[in-house]
Structure 1
Amino acid sequence: MIERKHTGQRMSKIVKHNGTVYLCGQVGVAGESVAEQTAECLRRVDALLVEAGSSREQILQAIIWVADMADFAEMNAVWDAWVPEGHAPARACGEAKLARPELMVEVIVTAACD
């Protein structure tokens, strides 16, 4: 069975299937620094994971897009402090033009769930 939450015309924020939860991409508040946008992305990821019956300790994979790789270290400082020790997921990070020019980072997560 597939369960979808917060479903609109274009996407669902959460999709659960066979013990796996897939989250749509999370962004921060426009106008903030890369560190602040990353922290906001991760707060949103936390909230969706809890709603889905999961947690950051259960993240299997993360894909991170940054608008400018010059911001890689600043984003990583926030990411590294957020990921629980011993629970680092498989991860990819690349540079991409995001949906709006003021966005600097987007985080996409797949996790195991209850």
Structure 2
Amino acid sequence: MSKITRQGSNPVLSTSVEYHNFVFLAGITADDLSRDITGQTQEVLAKIDQALENNGTDKTRLLSAQVWVKDIRDRDALNKVWVSWLGEAGRPVRACVEANMADPRHLVEIMITACR
């Protein structure tokens, strides 16, 4: 039976799960909720970089991304940060939708699947 590795587990979820060299990250949000969409996106992507590194991979190995924004009109500002962050790395499949957030101060949440 293949091993499943979980990190950052609590009673509700794990922040990451690795199985068969696939890495699944939970939805990641910013901690500094005073920031605008650009600042929150930058923080979320930095946290994604760290989570991927903790799982032995990086953004060049992204497979898919699910992005939720509080206001879809913020999509262009989010995309500017996203494109800069990706650089020349391979582009994952991605969805970006407007959603009610658990905390209305959250402006963006991103969930990633990558491989090692």
Letter in 1 for 2:48: V
Alignment partner of 2:15: what SS?
A: strand
Alignment partner of 2:8: what SS?
A: strand
In the alignment, does 2:34 pair up with 1:57?
no
Per-residue CA deviation, residues 15-54 of structure 1 (Å, 9 max, x unaligned), is 0001100001111121101000000000000000000001
The one of 6, 10, 13 equivalent to 2:12 is 10
- Matched residue pairs, number? 113
Give the alignment's TM-score, normalised by structure 1: 0.96
Q: How does 1:10-89 map to 2 (within 5 A)?
A: 10-28=12-30, 29-89=32-92
In the alignment, does 2:105 pair up with 1:102?
yes
Per-residue CA deviation, residues 49-101 of structure 1 (Å, 9 max, x unaligned), is 00000100001000000000110100000001001315111111000011100
Q: Which residue of 1 aligns with 2:96?
A: 93
Distance in structure 2 (CA, Å) of the matches to 1:98 and 1:18? 31
Tell me the percent identity: 33
* Structure 1 segments (4+ residues) deviating >3 Å: none
Query: What do you get for the CA RMSD once the two structures are aligned?
Result: 0.8
- Consecutive unaligned residues of structure 1, counting only runs of 5 or more, are none
Letter in 2 for 1:41: V
Equivalent residues of 2:28, 2:44 under 8 A apart: yes
Distance in structure 2 (CA, Å) of the matches to 1:108 and 1:5? 15
User: Which structure's residues are more often strand, by fraction?
Assistant: 1
Distance in structure 2 (CA, Å) of the matches to 1:86 and 1:42? 14
